[in-house]
Amino acid sequence: MSEAEGPKGGFGGFGGFFARAQQLATQAVENARPVAEKVKERAAQLDTTKVREVVQQAGVQAQEVLQRAQTAAEPQLAQARAMADKQAHSLAKVNAKTFLNANAQFGVPIENLAERGDDGMPLAAPRVPPVLEMMLARLETTQAEAFVSEGRPIFALPPDQQATRALAKAIDTNLNTFNFTNREVHTVAALLRQFLVELPEPVLTWQLYDEIITASQCTSEAQTADAFKRAIDKLPPASKVVAGRLVPFIARVASDGKLDIGTISLSFGPSLLRPKRKEGALRSLMEDLPAICAATESLIACSPALFPPQPASPPEAEAAAGG
């Protein structure tokens, strides 16, 4: 090999080796690429599977929690459904009576009577139901001695149910033609009690029963009056208007000596205030009666602070009461 060929041959040999090495390296990279892609794909699959497993597990846990919550809530849901059914049934009865007789006065919710005018259209503000105003106006013109019959307070006398129902039916037929003035005071008293007893909800509402009973048990008269006022302010507008007319009337009857406060509380207490109970209603009412009467006595005592004096009866109400 010549000197000239040596370098050439040497360089050529090195170049060939380098080219071969580069080729082998490139081939190795190319061979490794599919493996790397497979590894990457597998890793992605593993991650996705793991995420899916976590999600599925979370879903199962959420379903179990939901199932437990539904199971725990089922008694309350059943009770709520039963209460809703009873309310719907009661409302249907009231609506049926109103639908059959748009003039109905007895057994009709306070708001139906207080929030609509004589033409049946909604009023801007609730009023004392005319039938209630007429009865109270008639009783307010009565002399003290007339509130006692055969030695007993008229509000404590058992009413003639048949006669009272017949008169109530006549009022339901046409209130405007019914003359309260020529009725005996004990008859009007019986009608008033019947009207209040037949209200679908007591004047001071089911919802405020516990709060009013608690208010009556405060240690001082000032605290009692404040607690009563907070409760009265929560009444629906129609109920508040009726309470503002009825409670002062009861208080005036008691203060005028027409009835002692114990008798009048027993006569009117359950119509103003009673708990909402269906099962064993009479027994429950008898058990609650002492607390109801005590609360009614406290309401009567606090009446001037709770219900400021009302304006005089409008002329049309007085005229209607007089026939």
Torsions phi, psi of 122, nearest 5? -60, 140
> Residue type at 196?
L
Per domain, the residue ranges of the chain are 110-322
Residue 118 pLDDT: 84
**Dist. CA 273–CA 289, nearest whole Å:** 10
Residue 233 pLDDT: 96
- How deeply is 236 buried, as exposed, middle or buried, from its count of CB atoms within 10 A (0-12, 13-18, 19+)? middle
Residue pair 154/148 in contact (Cβ under 8 Å)? The answer is: yes
DSSP 242-262: HHHHHHHHHHHHHHTTSS-HH
10 Å Cβ neighbour count for 317?
18
10 Å Cβ neighbour count for 280?
10
Fold of the CATH domain 110-322: Phosphatidylinositol 3-kinase; Chain A (1.10.555)
DSSP 4-23: THHHHHHHHHHHHHHHHHHH
Residue 7 pLDDT: 44
Tokens found for residue 147: 């509130």
Listed as ranges, residues in the chain with pLDDT below 50 are 1-12, 14, 85, 88-100, 313, 315-320, 323
DSSP H or E stretch at residue 213:
helix 209-215
